[in-house]
């Protein structure tokens, strides 16, 4: 398993952009009110340049890797349901060589949950991706992904205290009834 310290480092790689004008308008008004017109124009121009130049950069550098076709389970899990995290052997059938399912990596720290039963905290359908400066970047959508109660990152090896919930692909889980 490739050693990646945090799932949050690659949020954009396993989610899809949400092209919603209302999200952009709301964010623009918020920045305008908070930072003024000059900063707002600077951010708008930066956003437009990233949107226009990004596809060209990706094509030129080859940084966008296609997903390996792996089974993508759809359990339609809802908050409160019980699941069991599959065994390592079962999860290996759902991931590529980098331990990713449709871009989302099963990170090494998640191994402690193999075979454990946990409750679904909530479905994850939209996320905000932070940019390098820690500002909220774009809104992105996710499919077949949930958060589990108590399954949180401990920041092992990197000294991070954020305690972020892990993102769980439904392909890594089995629906169970609580005993």
List the beta bridge partners of residue 90: none
So what's the architecture of 7-17+69-176 in CATH?
A: Roll (2.30)
Q: What integer pLDDT is reported at residue 96 of this predicted model?
A: 86
How do the domains of the chain map onto residue ranges? Answer: 7-17+69-176
Cα pseudo-dihedral 41, 45, 47, 48, rounded to 10: 140
Q: What pLDDT does residue 63 have?
A: 46
The tokens of 49 are what? 């340049």
Question: Contact, 142 vs 125, CB < 8 A?
Answer: yes
For residue 171, pLDDT beyond 90: yes
* Contact present, 46 and 138 (Cβ < 8 Å): no
Query: Residue 164 has what pLDDT?
Result: 87
Asked whether 123 and 143 are in contact (CB, 8 A), the reply is no
Residues whose CB is less than 8 angstroms from the CB of residue 89 and which lie 6 or more positions away in sequence, other chains included? none
Nearest one of 67, 154, 128 to 102, comparing CA atoms: 67
Residue 177 or 83, more confident: 83
For the chain, state the CA radius of gyration: 18
- Could you tell me the end-to-end alpha-carbon distance of the chain, in angstroms, rounded to an integer? 33
Residue 2 has pLDDT above 60, yes or no: no
Q: What is the largest CA-CA distance in the chain?
A: 59
pLDDT digits (tens, 9 = 90+) for 112-164: 999 999 999 999 998 888 766 666 677 888 899 999 999 998 876 566 777 88
Q: What is the pLDDT, as a whole number, of residue 34? A: 75
User: Cα–chain-centroid distance for residue 90?
Assistant: 21
- Tell me which of 167 and 18 has the higher pLDDT: 167
Spatial separation of the C-alpha atoms in residues 127 and 113, rounded to whole Å: 23
Tokens of 73: 């389970």
* Tokens found for residue 68: 């390996």
> What confidence tens digit (pLDDT) does each residue in 26-67 have?
667 777 787 788 877 777 776 666 666 555 555 554 544 555
The average pLDDT across 4-21 equals 64
Q: In the β-sheet with 136-141, what is the strand arrangement from edge to edge?
A: 16-17, 136-141, 126-130
């Amino acid at each position: 398993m490739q050693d990646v310290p945090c799932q949050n480092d690659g949020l954009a790689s396993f989610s899809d952009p949400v092209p919603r004008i209302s999200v952009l308008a709301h964010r623009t008004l918020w920045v305008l009110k908070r930072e003024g017109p000059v900063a707002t124009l600077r951010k708008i121009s930066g956003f437009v340049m990233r949107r226009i130049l990004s596809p060209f950069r990706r094509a030129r550098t080859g940084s966008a890797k296609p997903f390996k076709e792996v089974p993508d389970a759809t359990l339609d899990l809802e908050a409160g349901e019980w699941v069991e995290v599959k065994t390592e052997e079962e999860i290996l059938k759902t991931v590529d060589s980098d331990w990713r399912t449709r871009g989302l990596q099963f990170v090494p720290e998640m191994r402690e949950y193999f075979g454990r039963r946990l409750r679904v905290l909530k479905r994850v359908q939209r996320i905000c991706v932070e940019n390098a400066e820690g500002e909220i970047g774009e809104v992105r959508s996710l499919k077949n992904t949930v958060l589990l109660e108590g399954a949180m990152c401990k920041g092992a090896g990197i000294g991070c205290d954020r305690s972020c919930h892990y993102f769980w692909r439904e392909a890594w889980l089995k629906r169970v009834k609580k005993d």
